[in-house]
């Protein structure tokens, strides 16, 4: 048997996540949760499409030498994916315990910019979806809502989602988002990058859009 189950990690709206071993290697198994409010055939088609996108995102990240899980097994009929386990604990746990390096937020900003520089929006950058261990850079995980894009709004929303999480769940780290932005802008903030899909917004343009999103959110509140 390729997969040896060792227990449940998480049950969310998008997927059930279990830990175990695949051919003896530490691994994670994700099973997409059916959307009961959708027609079963439509749900299966959309889920398969979502799995295709997630696989392409993971392979693209690895090709660009950005830390990400490797795909070990994919079963679209059963809506499951087995990926390699990334070392570290969820950043939310380290923040709550007060045991993070002082530069972790700056590093996180750098990593988010690396994603955006190759045209990937993560879609759900929460402290639950960031792994960290002492002496290492943080690693983003869970690409179920990720997509290929060149839209400045998508990149601005990535940062805004993280900002909202930091503000609501980790207010004791008051300058965290400032450090994230500094890391995001640390590498050639005005460089225009041309990828096959088109021209990407500069880092400064993304930060400006983040500021616009903040204004819109405050206005609607």
DSSP conformation letters of 115-165: HHHTTEE-S---TTSEEE-TTS--EE---TT-EE---HHHHHHHHHHHHHH
pLDDT, tens digit (0-9, with 9 covering 90-100), for 119-171: 999 999 999 999 999 889 999 999 989 999 999 999 999 999 999 999 999 99
Count of CB atoms situated within 10 Å of the CB of 94: 21
- Kindly give the interhelix angle for 176-184 and 152-169, rounded to the nearest 10 degrees: 150
pLDDT for res 221 = 56
Same domain, 70 and 96: no
Domain boundary among 49, 84, 119: 84
Domain boundary among 36, 53, 84: 84
Which CATH number belongs to the domain containing residue 78 in this structure?
3.30.200.20
Same domain, 117 and 147: yes
Whole-prediction pTM: 0.91
Mean pLDDT of 102-106: 94
Q: Return the residue matching tokens 């300058």.
A: 175
Residue whose C-alpha is closest to residue 30's, from 90, 66, 79: 79
Question: 9: domain range?
Answer: 3-84
pLDDT for res 149 = 97
Beta-carbon-side half-sphere exposure of residue 203 (alpha carbons within 13 Å): 20
Same domain, 203 and 98: yes
pLDDT for res 34 = 77
H or E element: which one contains 25?
strand 25-32
- State how many domains the chain has: 2
| β-bridge partners, 26 | 21
Buried b or exposed e, range 158-180, using 16+ CB within 10 angstroms: bbbbbbebbeeebeebeebbebb
Task: Kindly tell me if the per-residue pLDDT of 14 is higher than 90.
Answer: no
Which CATH number belongs to the domain containing residue 173 in this structure?
1.10.510.10
Angle among Cα 163, 56, 14 to the nearest 5 degrees reads 55
- Kindly give the interhelix angle for 203-220 and 176-184, rounded to the nearest 10 degrees: 150
pLDDT, tens digit (0-9, with 9 covering 90-100), for 48-71: 888 899 999 999 999 999 999 999
Same domain, 97 and 114: yes
Better pLDDT: 76 or 160? 160
Better pLDDT: 77 or 115? 115
Domain boundary among 84, 113, 146: 84
Structure tokens at 200: 């990407």
pLDDT for res 39 = 78
pLDDT for res 219 = 63
pLDDT for res 50 = 86
Confidence band for 35, pLDDT divided at 50, 70 and 90: confident
């Amino acid at each position: 048997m390729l997969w040896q189950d060792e227990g449940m990690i998480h049950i969310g709206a998008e997927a059930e996540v279990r830990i175990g071993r695949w051919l003896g290697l530490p691994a994670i198994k994700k099973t997409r949760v059916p959307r009961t409010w959708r027609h079963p055939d439509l749900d299966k088609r959309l889920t398969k499409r979502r799995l295709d996108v997630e696989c392409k995102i993971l392979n693209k990240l690895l090709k660009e030498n950005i830390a990400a899980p490797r795909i070990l097994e994919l079963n679209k009929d059963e809506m499951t994916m087995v990926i390699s386990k990334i070392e570290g604990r969820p950043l939310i746990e380290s923040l709550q315990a007060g045991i993070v390096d002082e530069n972790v937020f700056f590093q996180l900003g750098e990593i988010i910019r690396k994603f955006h520089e190759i045209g990937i929006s993560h879609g759900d950058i929460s402290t639950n979806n960031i792994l960290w261990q002492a002496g290492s850079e943080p690693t983003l995980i869970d690409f179920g809502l990720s997509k290929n894009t060149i839209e400045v709004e998508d990149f601005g929303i990535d940062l805004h989602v993280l900002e909202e999480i930091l503000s609501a769940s980790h207010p004791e780290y008051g300058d965290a988002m400032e450090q994230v932005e500094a890391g995001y802008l640390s590498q050639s903030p005005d460089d225009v990058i041309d990828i096959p899909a088109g021209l990407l917004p500069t880092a400064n343009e993304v930060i400006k859009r983040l500021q616009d999103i903040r204004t819109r959110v405050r206005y609607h509140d």
